[in-house]
Amino acid sequence: MKAHILGFPRIGIKRELKKAVEAYWHGKTQREDLEQTAKALRARHWQLQQDAGLDFVTVNDFSYYDHVLDMSVTLGVIPARYEHQGGNADLDTMFRMARGRAPSGKDTIAGEMTKWFDTNYHYIVPEFYPDQGFSLSSTKLFDEVTEAQQAGHKVKPVLISPLTYLWLGKTKKADFDKLSLLEQVLPVYREILQKLKAQGVEWVQFDEPILALDLPTEWQAAIEQAYASLAQSGVNILVASYFGALEDNLQVATRLPVQALHIDIVRAPEQLQNVVDALPETMALSVGVTNGRNIWKADLNQCLAILEPLKQQLGDRLWVSASCSLLHSPVDLDAEKRMNPAIKAWLAFATQKLRELQLLKSALVDGHDSVAKSLEINQRDNDARRNSTLIHKPEVKQRVEGITPALAQRQSAYDKRAELQKQHLDLPLFPTTTIGSFPQTGDIRKTRRDFKKHLISREDYTRQMQNEIKSVVAKQHELGLDVLVHGEPERNDMVEYFGEQLDGFVFSQNGWVQSYGSRCVKPPIIFGDVSRPSPMTVDWITYAQQQTDKVMKGMLTGPVTVLQWSFVRDDQPREQTCLQLALAIRDEVVDLEKAGIQIIQIDEAAFREGLPLRQKEWQTYLDWAVKSFRITASGVEDVTQIHTHMCYSEFNDIMPAIADMDADVITIETSRSQMELLDAFEDFAYPNEIGPGVYDIHSPRVPKKDEIMTLLHKAHERIPAERLWVNPDCGLKTRGWSETEAALQNMVDAAKTMRETV
Ligand code: GLN
Ligand code: ZN
């Protein structure tokens, strides 16, 4: 029987990798320094796995930037613009592919980045050209295998499988079938396996997360074809599925000529029996029984209740593991020195998850008695969590139970509301606004930091923030914007800001997870019933409103986005937690209205990324997500105008849900797609008002008035003038002031010209 993990976080307890990589990028250190840090991190992570008694250490889960990009480099999938001359690609070529720039080599456009399945990890999208070739172009994998072996470890290297790799890529220049590349990529994979075999490697893990997706039949067939070819290498293969059930890929997976299959029974517990029934006797089953992507302590007795009978049935063919790579977990709970100990006792980060696997293996192999004490403590902690008054607030649960359809319903339909709002707000055609944040200067960040560290008083802090708000309002006046914002200077992050003020949340000091490259995020932890002890934004927004006669837009983050960007409790359905959030934020909306705020924007930046991987589960998600938004938005009078904002550009498949949210105005990112996105809104005959972004805030480039006019004309071809707003793609907090003012001036001028000419 074996215990193992699919991967360990690479960033280090204190984000050592981030700091080392950035220092290298900025020329503060040499390549050797970076390599030293990386080596020390790998050594540490392997040692932790060894100390936990795991049967292998996982190798090649380390990456300086992204493991999908590493796979591209290994396979020689390096677009011509990087001018790679063949042979092994060097570190700087990889960094240029990741971010356009490295200490050596020409600046070049970086690869596109997108989300890794339904996680918040982003990978660099492989680019496939019509004449795409593949050739082994890196020794990273083999070097790390040697390094681990020399440290005395038994290794299990991990690779992205050929099919998952092709699935993740994009064709460029011509639209051709990516599957046609399989025949050419397989020889490189075979070469890799041969080399690993020569290094004495016995097991290789192929990550095959696409097994949890709705796959076209050609892809299912191609998976069989690929492993038939790889199986001849003489190295044992573990195929790893995760993030969902195998379902219609079950037959494919269990028929593969491989020696082991990993399944995720945290996300898809219901698949276990079917998989066991279909499993051939030649195959081991790695059961992902603890959660690799959340921070809760496993219930070990519950895990054992599942594993014991499997052990009877499968004997040594049973392996235990976490559901997926621990890449998505923070590194080490021991680094948390300030967390409430009662809550800390419920958590397990990656390092603690290794220990859980160790305990499970011991209990299975040597009997429960061998770890009785630890099992008892685990049980005690989980029982404490189940019954804790910190978590369970009867009044919150009752309020959710009392939700009626009326609570998710504005008083009147959009047409009627729109008329009332028009009279009340008295805005010109093509009204101009922004998405909320204004440039966050070093001063603002410092003030926030100082206040957090108690270096300045609350009065000082408030005064400085008010000064910032005042100046931002004055600037918007000068620019001639129609609907103003306060600029969000008090917010470090659009989710954290609200989480810190809501009950039911806790924050870690070091609970970082990699988001992309050197960027890490520290998601809030929703541990209990959510409620709002007091108003969260009202003082700032009313202060801002007092500085102007124009309409001030209040700014909130919506329930779905808060949920999506947090670690969410696993003791109740996500829907319940989302509804609790909805009620809490609804109260804030109502309080803003009471304070005289006439427009309130509820950002749902993460609405789309919550979509489940399997299409058949979409509707259930969309139903409760839309309901949550509507509950948040529906406590106000008809004259109060509700905006929402979403920043991504694929709406086609969820248009009915977007319309069903029934926001009076939706602002969206469109400028990079040249308004093509609006086709979806036009085809669907989207009934409410829309503000398609007219300039890309991700670039420091100032758009010319003409360019904005062109975009506005395009928008106007699709949306009638009475329902069209003028705004940037997203918030401006990452921009500098000079480009922001210039761009907004052009935007306001363009809107004015539209009014005169259309
Ligand atoms: N109101 C937020 C801001 O302007 C929206 C951010 C977002 O959509 N990601 O910063
Ligand atoms: Zn946005």
Is pLDDT of 240 > 80? yes
Q: Residue of the nearest CA to atom 6 in ligand 1?
A: 731
Other CB atoms closer than 10 Å to residue 423's CB: what's the count? 9
Report helix, strand or coil for 151.
coil
- % of the chain beyond a pLDDT of 90: 96
CB of 157 sitting under 6 A from ligand 1 = no
716: annotated active-site residue = no
Q: What is the DSSP letter of 438?
A: -
In this structure, of 573-587, 608-622, 689-703, the range with the lowest mean pLDDT score is 689-703
Measure the CA–CA gap between 644 and 691, rounded to whole angstroms. 10
Ligand nearest to the CA of 439: 1
Percent composition of the chain: helix, strand, coil (DSSP 3-state, to 5): 50, 15, 35
C-beta separation of 344 from 384 below 8 A? no
User: Which residues share a beta bridge with 286?
Assistant: 262, 319
Q: Residue 752 is which amino acid? A: K
What mean pLDDT comes out for the span 18-38?
97
C-alpha Rg value of the chain to the nearest Å:
27
CB of 669 sitting under 6 A from ligand 1 = no
What mean pLDDT comes out for the span 677-699?
91
Q: Residue of the nearest CA to atom 9 in ligand 1?
A: 605
- Give pLDDT tens digits for 492-532: 999 999 999 999 999 999 999 999 999 999 999 999 999 99
Q: Residue of the nearest CA to atom 1 in ligand 1?
A: 436
Ligand nearest to the CA of 732: 1
Residue 648: predicted pLDDT = 73
Cα of 436 from ligand 2 centre, angstroms:
9
For 54-85, what is the HEC assignment? CCCEEECCCCCCCHHHHHHHHCCCCCHHHCCC
Ligand nearest to the CA of 669: 2
Cα of 129 from ligand 1 centre, angstroms:
35
The encoded tokens of residue 601 equal 């924007």
Measure the CA–CA gap between 754 and 758, rounded to whole angstroms. 6
- Give pLDDT tens digits for 440-470: 999 999 999 999 999 999 999 999 999 999 9
C-beta separation of 663 from 643 below 8 A? yes
The encoded tokens of residue 40 equal 């020390």
C-beta separation of 179 from 166 below 8 A? yes
C-beta separation of 694 from 726 below 8 A? yes
Burial 306-329 (b: 16+ CB within 10 A, else e): ebeebbeebeebbbbbbbbbbbbb
Pocket test for ligand 1, best of 433, 434, 437 (most atoms within 8 A of CB): 437
Q: Where are the alpha helices (DSSP H) in 527-642?
A: 538-546, 559-564, 574-594, 618-633
What mean pLDDT comes out for the span 560-586?
98
C-beta separation of 64 from 23 below 8 A? no
Closest CA to 591 of 638, 542, 520, 627: 542
Q: What is the DSSP letter of 110?
A: P
- The torsion angles phi and psi of 555, rounded to 5 degrees, stand at -130, 120
Closest CA to 446 of 389, 489, 410: 489
- Give pLDDT tens digits for 597-615: 999 999 999 999 999 999 9
Is pLDDT of 541 > 80? yes
CB of 731 sitting under 6 A from ligand 1 = yes
Please, which pLDDT band fits residue 123 given cuts at 50, 70 and 90?
very high
Is pLDDT of 45 > 80? yes
Pocket test for ligand 1, best of 486, 491, 494 (most atoms within 8 A of CB): 494
The encoded tokens of residue 589 equal 């909306």
Pocket test for ligand 1, best of 555, 600, 730, 732 (most atoms within 8 A of CB): 730
Using alpha carbons, list the distances in angstroms from residue 160 to 87, 168, 320, 323, 727: 21, 10, 21, 17, 41
Measure the CA–CA gap between 444 and 685, rounded to whole angstroms. 42
CB of 237 sitting under 6 A from ligand 1 = no
End-to-end alpha carbon distance in the chain:
74
C-beta separation of 479 from 744 below 8 A? yes
- The torsion angles phi and psi of 692, rounded to 5 degrees, stand at -75, 130
Cα of 177 from ligand 2 centre, angstroms:
33
Report how far Cα 352 is from the mean position of its chain's Cα atoms. Answer: 23
Q: For all residues of the chain together, what is the average pLDDT?
A: 97
CB of 524 sitting under 6 A from ligand 1 = no
Measure the CA–CA gap between 656 and 678, rounded to whole angstroms. 14
Q: Which atom of ligand 1 is nearest to the CA of 601?
A: 1
Q: Residue of the nearest CA to atom 10 in ligand 1?
A: 731
Q: Is 78 exposed, middle or buried (0-12, 13-18, 19+ CB in 10 A)?
A: buried
C-beta separation of 79 from 127 below 8 A? yes
For 318-356, what is the HEC assignment? EEEEECCCHHHCCCCHHHCCCCCHHHHCCECCHHHHHHH
Give me the count of residues in the chain: 758
Question: 368, 424, 477, 698: which is the annotated catalytic residue?
Answer: 698
What mean pLDDT comes out for the span 106-126?
93
Report helix, strand or coil for 250.
helix
Handedness of CA 415, 421, 427, 433 (dihedral sign): negative
Pocket test for ligand 1, best of 562, 603, 644, 647 (most atoms within 8 A of CB): 603
Could you please report the per-residue DSSP string of 582-612?
Answer: HHHHHHHHHHHHHTT--EEEEE-TTTGGG--
Residue 671: predicted pLDDT = 81
Q: Give the CA dihedral 526, 527, 533, 537, nearest 10 degrees.
A: -10
Is pLDDT of 580 > 70? yes
Using alpha carbons, list the distances in angstroms from residue 246 to 48, 236, 264, 270, 328: 31, 21, 9, 10, 21
What mean pLDDT comes out for the span 209-218?
98
Is pLDDT of 246 > 70? yes
CB of 436 sitting under 6 A from ligand 1 = yes
Those residues with Cβ within 8 angstroms of residue 220's Cβ, 6 or more apart along the chain or in another chain: 249, 252
The encoded tokens of residue 673 equal 């797609």
Cα of 472 from ligand 1 centre, angstroms:
16
Measure the CA–CA gap between 610 and 562, rounded to whole angstroms. 11
Cα of 441 from ligand 1 centre, angstroms:
16
In this structure, of 243-257, 292-306, 547-561, 698-712, the range with the lowest mean pLDDT score is 698-712
pTM, entire model:
0.96
Measure the CA–CA gap between 676 and 463, rounded to whole angstroms. 44
Cα of 656 from ligand 1 centre, angstroms:
23
Cα of 363 from ligand 2 centre, angstroms:
49
Those residues with Cβ within 8 angstroms of residue 426's Cβ, 6 or more apart along the chain or in another chain: none
User: Which residues share a beta bridge with 732?
Assistant: none
CB of 491 sitting under 6 A from ligand 1 = no
Q: Residue of the nearest CA to atom 8 in ligand 1?
A: 605
Q: Residue of the nearest CA to atom 3 in ligand 1?
A: 731
Measure the CA–CA gap between 205 and 158, rounded to whole angstroms. 5
Q: Which atom of ligand 1 is nearest to the CA of 557?
A: 1
Diameter over CA atoms, the chain = 83
CB of 664 sitting under 6 A from ligand 1 = no
What mean pLDDT comes out for the span 409-433?
98
Q: Residue of the nearest CA to atom 5 in ligand 1?
A: 731
CB of 326 sitting under 6 A from ligand 1 = no
CB of 347 sitting under 6 A from ligand 1 = no
Residue 649: predicted pLDDT = 66
Q: What angle do CA 55, 57, 63 make, to 5 degrees?
A: 160
Report how far Cα 314 is from the mean position of its chain's Cα atoms. Answer: 36
Is pLDDT of 184 > 80? yes
Those residues with Cβ within 8 angstroms of residue 613's Cβ, 6 or more apart along the chain or in another chain: 117, 118, 212, 213, 243, 244
Measure the CA–CA gap between 318 and 147, rounded to whole angstroms. 29
Closest CA to 158 of 229, 78, 226, 260: 260
CB of 602 sitting under 6 A from ligand 1 = no
Closest CA to 512 of 521, 499, 502: 521
Using alpha carbons, list the distances in angstroms from residue 141 to 62, 149, 242: 10, 12, 22
Measure the CA–CA gap between 319 and 322, rounded to whole angstroms. 10
CB of 668 sitting under 6 A from ligand 1 = no
Is pLDDT of 171 > 80? yes
Q: Where are the alpha helices (DSSP H) in 271-412?
A: 272-278, 300-314, 341-344, 350-366, 372-387, 394-401
Those residues with Cβ within 8 angstroms of residue 396's Cβ, 6 or more apart along the chain or in another chain: 504, 529, 530, 531, 580, 583
- The torsion angles phi and psi of 150, rounded to 5 degrees, stand at -65, -25
Q: What is the DSSP letter of 703?
A: P
Containing 51, the helix (H) or strand (E) segment is helix 31-51
Ligand nearest to the CA of 494: 1
Please, which pLDDT band fits residue 653 given cuts at 50, 70 and 90?
confident
Using alpha carbons, list the distances in angstroms from residue 81 to 75, 185, 234: 17, 21, 38
CB of 730 sitting under 6 A from ligand 1 = yes
CB of 555 sitting under 6 A from ligand 1 = yes
**Higher per-residue pLDDT: 226 or 651:** 226
